């Protein structure tokens, strides 16, 4: 099975410098660089937009990097402008004026650049003067794999814009800006987990996030005998196709029926009573099942934090399996390929737990496994997954890395 190569942040910056020199030969040397990681959510799925709890970690060596420079002279009439190039499509540069950006205006450019337009708009809405800039984007965050490539792009862009404007924003504010970009420019009514873990990740720790207060607590995950393996089913997903939004609306419907501000405040007893009274809507709308997942998933996150702190990996893994089963049956956001990966992992000695991670409908699994069992796990997946699904997976091993930050540029 192909295993993604580990690429250091320093190597990404050098790739960015090389690309910048090639694409912008008349712009001088790049002066600003920033990085932001993708993420994997260990447990707590579809709880963030219900103001619940999540336990993600930032992915070390799976980062998106901005490299660029800014100018006083716009070179675009009297308006400041941005010129952008992605490593994925270097022959398709993007250029736009840095004013009057709105989600309602017609936009025919590539989707990745729209996230950047959206982030620039967040700065402009705060009356920040954004100077003209040239920048390139390079990344080792898998696209469409449920590890938050869009959040990494947004947070790397936010730090880059901070650096060229001199504005200081805390991680929570940057995360809120990224969430608005998702809502307004990508059409995804997401919670804030992806942006906040990318903005505020802590090396060596998972991050318990309270998605109501946005308070965070680092939970150490630095046992050298334990490894996090992320396996991409290579079933691509798009959260803008309606199912994600449908789940969110159903949760809001459930909260209204239960007379609570959000499902974060609901209990299993309240849910059962409402079901008995017949106020949750027609059975085919699955309001009960969706709410049941959220209520129990919040409890699983808190139990998982306790297990991790006690290094009780058996208990933690059991909670991962319970989470996946609920996502499969109650929330119905898994798929056959993801289920196959979880079942294959479950049969490997040394695997403590495995589950789907991310919004669902494809993407990745996350597996907690002993370091000495990783080779067997990957061998089993490589042998069995294609037979069961006709698809070929990719994987990578990671540990908790740091969140978004500016980077030093060293020219060679």
Q: Are residues 183 and 288 in the same domain?
A: no
Residue 172 maps to a domain:
yes
DSSP 235-270: ----GGGSHHHHHHHHHHHHHHHHTSSSGGG--HHH
**pLDDT in tens for each of the 412 residues of the chain?**
666 677 889 999 999 999 999 999 999 999 999 999 999 999 999 999 999 999 999 999 899 999 999 997 655 556 899 999 999 999 999 999 998 898 877 677 899 999 999 999 999 999 999 999 999 999 999 887 778 999 999 999 999 999 999 999 999 999 999 999 999 998 888 889 999 999 999 999 999 999 999 999 999 999 999 999 999 999 976 654 688 889 999 999 999 999 999 999 999 999 999 999 999 999 989 999 999 999 999 999 999 999 999 999 999 999 999 999 999 999 999 999 999 999 999 999 999 999 999 888 888 999 999 999 999 999 999 999 999 999 999 999 999 999 999 999 887 6
Q: Are residues 241 and 359 in the same domain?
A: yes
Q: Are residues 78 and 201 in the same domain?
A: yes
Residue 3 maps to a domain:
no
Our count of domains for the chain comes to: 2
Residue 412 maps to a domain:
no
Q: What is the DSSP letter of 78?
A: B
Contacts 24+ apart (CB under 8 A), 26-29: 27/69, 27/71, 27/134, 28/69, 29/69, 29/409, 29/411
Residue 2 maps to a domain:
no
Q: Are residues 142 and 232 in the same domain?
A: no
Q: Are residues 160 and 309 in the same domain?
A: no
Size of the chain in residues:
412
Q: Quick one: which H or E segment has residue 217?
A: strand 216-220
Q: Are residues 315 and 329 in the same domain?
A: yes
Q: Are residues 279 and 211 in the same domain?
A: no
CA 216 to chain centre: 16
CATH number reported for the structural domain that contains residue 148 in this entry: 3.30.230.10
Per-residue tokens: 109: 């450019």
CATH number reported for the structural domain that contains residue 349 in this entry: 3.30.70.890
Q: Are residues 241 and 290 in the same domain?
A: yes
Query: CB atoms < 10 A from the CB of 245, how many?
Result: 15
Residue 4 maps to a domain:
no
Residue 266 maps to a domain:
yes
Q: Are residues 76 and 135 in the same domain?
A: yes
Question: What is the per-residue pLDDT for 187?
Answer: 87
Strand order in the sheet with 351-357: 351-357, 364-370, 226-232, 394-398
Q: Are residues 15 and 125 in the same domain?
A: yes
Q: Are residues 138 and 173 in the same domain?
A: yes
**For residue 400, which phi and psi values (nearest 5 degrees)?**
-65, 130
Q: Are residues 150 and 176 in the same domain?
A: yes
Euclidean distance between CA atoms 162 and 34, whole angstroms: 10
Domain range for 295 is: 226-398
What pTM does this model have? Answer: 0.93
Question: What is the per-residue pLDDT for 7?
Answer: 82
User: Active-site residue numbers?
Assistant: 194
Euclidean distance between CA atoms 384 and 380, whole angstroms: 6
Residue 183 maps to a domain:
yes
CA-based Rg of the chain, rounded to a whole angstrom? Answer: 22
Question: What is the per-residue pLDDT for 73?
Answer: 61
Question: What is the per-residue pLDDT for 386?
Answer: 97
Q: Is 91 exposed, middle or buried (0-12, 13-18, 19+ CB in 10 A)?
A: exposed
């Amino acid at each position: 099975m192909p295993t993604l190569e580990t690429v250091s942040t320093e190597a990404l910056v050098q790739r960015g410098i090389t690309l910048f020199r090639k694409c912008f030969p008349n712009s001088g040397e790049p002066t600003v660089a920033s990085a932001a990681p993708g993420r994997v959510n260990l447990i707590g799925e579809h709880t963030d937009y219900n103001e619940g709890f999540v336990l993600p970690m930032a992915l070390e060596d799976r980062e998106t990097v901005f490299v660029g420079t800014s100018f006083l002279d716009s070179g675009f009439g009297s308006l400041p402008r941005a010129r952008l190039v992605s490593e994925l499509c270097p022959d398709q540069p993007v250029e736009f004026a840095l004013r009057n950006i709105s989600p309602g205006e017609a936009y025919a450019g590539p989707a990745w650049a729209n996230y950047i337009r959206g982030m620039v708009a967040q700065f402009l809405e705060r009356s920040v003067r954004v100077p003209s800039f040239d920048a390139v984007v390079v990344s080792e965050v898998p696209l469409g794999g449920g590890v938050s490539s869009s959040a990494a792009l947004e947070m790397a862009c936010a730090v880059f814009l901070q650096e060229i404007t001199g504005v200081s924003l805390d991680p929570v504010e940057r995360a809120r800006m990224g969430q608005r970009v998702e809502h307004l420019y990508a059409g995804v009514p997401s919670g804030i987990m992806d942006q906040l873990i990318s903005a505020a990740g802590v090396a060596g720790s998972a991050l318990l996030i309270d998605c109501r207060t946005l308070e965070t607590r680092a939970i150490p995950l630095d046992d050298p005998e334990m490894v996090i393996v992320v396996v991409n089913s290579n079933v691509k997903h798009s959260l803008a196709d309606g199912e994600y939004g449908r789940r969110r609306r159903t949760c809001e419907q459930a909260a209204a029926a239960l007379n609570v501000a959000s499902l974060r405040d609901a209990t299993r007893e309240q849910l059962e009573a409402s079901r008995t009274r017949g106020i949750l809507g027609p059975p085919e709308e699955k309001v009960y099942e969706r709410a049941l997942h959220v209520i129990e998933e919040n409890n699983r996150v808190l139990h998982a934090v306790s297990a991790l702190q006690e290094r009780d990996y058996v208990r933690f893994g059991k909670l991962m399996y319970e989470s996946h089963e609920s996502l499969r049956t109650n929330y119905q956001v898994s798929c056959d390929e993801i289920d196959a990966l979880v079942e294959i992992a479950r049969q490997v000695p040394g695997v403590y737990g495995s589950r789907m991670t991310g919004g669902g409908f494809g993407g990745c699994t996350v597996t907690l496994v002993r370091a000495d069992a990783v080779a067997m796990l990957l061998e089993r997946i490589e042998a069995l997954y294609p037979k069961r699904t006709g698809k070929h997976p990719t994987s990578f091993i990671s540990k908790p890395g740091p969140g978004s930050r500016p980077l030093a540029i060293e020219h060679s």
